[in-house]
Amino acid sequence: MSMRGKTIVVGVSGGIAAYKACEAVRLLVQAGATVQVVLTRAAEEFVTPLTLQALSGRPVARRTFDLTEESEIGHIRIADTADALLIAPATANVIAKLATGIADDLLTTVVLATRAPVLVAPAMNVHMWENATVQANVARLRDAGHVVIEPASGALACGYEGAGRLPEPDVLVEEVAVAVTEKTLAGRRVLVTAGPTWEALDPVRHVANRSSGKMGFAVARAARRRGARVTLVTGPTALADLRGVECVHVTSAREMEKAALHHAAAADCVVMAAAVGDYRPLEAARHKIKRGRGDLEIRLTPNPDILAKIGALPGQRVIVGFAAETRDLVANARRKLQAKGVHLMVANDVTAPDAGFDVDTNIVTLIDRSGRVERFEKMSKDEVAGVILDRVRDLRTPRTTVRAAPRRLRRR
Ligand SMILES: Cc1cc2nc3c(=O)[nH]c(=O)nc-3n(C[C@H](O)[C@H](O)[C@H](O)COP(=O)(O)O)c2cc1C
């Protein structure tokens, strides 16, 4: 994910989870963002300005009335330059101040002065979180249009169990990415398939492939950032479910067929990134197959062609297929595109280093119906997802159900 050109203000208030803000700042800088940290006085009891200055590469802003700070990075300048403002962790105290418009320190003053989206990530003891006043204040923040990143549940630093944990830094950064991404797919429904399929041989074995699901998950994440309502139908992977995405878990190709056809009917766009097994064992043994002396023969039968079935569905939708090839990349992908009613084919040579299965990068060639062939250099799978969704936007079908972005989603 690139946040190049974006300025993110990270406000850190005085909670025990302030240490996680350090990692969030590091990840934002790694993603290319300019990060301006604002610390409350209480936050300095938990993390040092030096740590955050070193991680952000910029002086940390702390005091409203410091003559040097105010002239160099004054509160209005911080507020105006922000593309998004993330408060993590947000204490019960800072939430109460924001809910009532109190601006008695630099962070709360910047929040009042900014027009950028404000994301608030509360973190506190479970009893504090469940306190009626805190909940009322959180509701007021939502009403004011701030994004509240719900705390996670689990073991808390105070020794209690329950809701109140600050979500992990990568989750916070993903929410910032959502806030700063242009909503080019607002109101659109996107179905993405991902991962391998497993075809049972017996109760303990299966026929599978090496797909990790990373490419499909990257497309689903990118579509959500662009404002789409996303359903992800995924085969078995080691990846965590995506926030804000409806995740449907399947195992076999036939299960994937059922789920994909069901969700494709309402989709404006379908991206079929799953590596669906072409064949499955004709019969799955009821009991574990025992070791024998001779060869074991397994008869395979073809699986349904999900891409072709989606291409044949009534109604209009943009269909993107993937072609994992080991030779004759463009010719094979073009054949697949023509045979299956696909608008855009993403072809990759899965034998190339740093491309295809299980790695974080891919080297793709895009082929569309007009015959245009576009070859790309090695990119991260997040970047490939961005390129695909840019093309999806251009390939929009003239569907009458396309809705404009809901007004309240539009900020500024
Ligand atoms: C050890 C310790 C841990 C604390 N952890 C939290 C916390 O996780 N969440 C919270 O809302 N307040 C926590 N507090 C209380 C806040 O630090 C206190 O309310 C402070 O006034 C917050 O100031 P600020 O909101 O300006 O940063 C903690 C206090 C101490 C001493």
Q: Is 40 in the pocket of ligand 1 (CB under 6 A)?
A: yes
What separation in angstroms does the CA of 41 have from each of 45, 64, 279, 330? 7, 11, 62, 60
Q: Distance, CA 62 to ligand 1 centroid (Å)? A: 17
CATH architecture of the domain with range 7-180: 3-Layer(aba) Sandwich (3.40)
Tokens at residue 148, please? 């509240």
Atom of ligand 1 minimally distant from the CA of 91: 11
Q: Which of 330, 327, 272, 329 is nearest to 304 (CA)?
A: 272
Q: Of 3.40.50.620, 3.60.21.10, 3.10.180.10, 3.40.50.10300, which CATH number belongs to 189-394?
A: 3.40.50.10300
Q: At 326, phi and psi to the nearest 5? A: -115, -10
* 195 backbone φψ class: left, alpha, beta (φ>0; ψ -120 to 50): left
Give the CA distances from residue 268 to residues 6, 104, 148, 228, 383, in Å, rounded to whole numbers and listed in that order. Answer: 30, 48, 29, 10, 22
Tell me the C-alpha to C-alpha distance, in Å, between residue 182 and each of 14, 59, 224, 226, 317: 32, 29, 11, 6, 22
Closest CA to ligand 1's atom 28: 15
Give the residue extent of every domain in the chain: 7-180, 189-394
Is 42 near ligand 1, meaning CB less than 6 Å away? Answer: yes
What is the distance between the alpha carbons of residues 59 and 66, in angstroms, rounded to a whole number? Answer: 13
Tell whether ligand 1 has an atom less than 6 A from the beta carbon of residue 363.
Answer: no
Same fold, 7-180 and 189-394: yes
pTM for the model: 0.88
106 CB under 6 A from ligand 1?
no
Q: Which of 56, 54, 86, 55 is nearest to 167 (CA)?
A: 86
| Tens digit of each residue's pLDDT, the chain (412 residues) | 689 999 999 999 999 999 999 999 999 999 999 999 999 999 999 999 999 999 999 999 988 777 677 766 788 889 999 999 999 999 999 999 999 999 999 999 999 999 999 999 999 999 999 999 999 999 999 999 999 999 999 888 878 888 899 999 999 999 999 999 999 999 999 999 999 999 999 999 999 999 999 999 999 999 999 999 999 999 999 999 999 999 999 999 999 999 999 999 999 999 999 999 999 999 999 999 998 889 999 999 999 999 999 999 998 899 999 988 778 888 888 888 888 889 999 998 777 777 767 788 888 999 998 888 999 989 999 999 999 999 988 876 554 444 444 444 444 4
Is position 158 annotated as part of the catalytic site? yes
